[in-house]
Amino acid sequence: MPRITPNLWFDTEGLEAAEFYVSVFPNSQIENVTYYNEAGPRPAGTVLTVEFRLDGQEYTAVNGGPQFTFDEAISLLVNCADQKEVDYYWEKLSEGGSEGPCGWLKDKYGLSWQVAPVGLGELLADPDSGRARRAMAAMLRMGKLDLAALRAAADAED
């Protein structure tokens, strides 16, 4: 089966972004950097691509120019084991970026992330429709997700 590698388009900050992401996630590293040559279209020696891994997942950053920018139509989901991980990734990834609703944020490069605790899906799909509704209503009022508050809301009486 072929591997699928997400390619992230940057103007000029692909290497800087890859170095940042590698610093945030464990078991991560930059694997290869390629450069434009005399054929262009950018000056020879300018970074073209950066191949990197974030905790085992391959990515490529492409310095393709200002034609395309990130938007919320694509995001990267960070499945966090517990609230400590939610807090860590939320703080690191939102620094210099912007916080959004329901566990979404944009990092300083404009890339959208969802930072969510592993138990969120179970709460939102609870067979007890009242629990699921209360958890959803609580999530819709949050920026950074708080798993304990979500569980408390789900367990509350109407």
pLDDT band at 98 (very low <50, low <70, confident <90, very high): very high
pTM (two decimals): 0.93
CA separation for the pair 75, 81 (Å, rounded): 19
pLDDT attached to residue 2:
82
* One CATH from 3.30.565.10, 3.10.180.10, 3.40.309.10, 3.30.360.10 for 1-68: 3.10.180.10
Q: Which CATH architecture has domain 70-158?
A: Roll (3.10)
Residue identified by tokens 């590293």 is: 29
| In the chain, where the domains are located | 1-68, 70-158
The reply to whether 1-68 and 70-158 are identical in fold is: yes
pLDDT attached to residue 53:
98
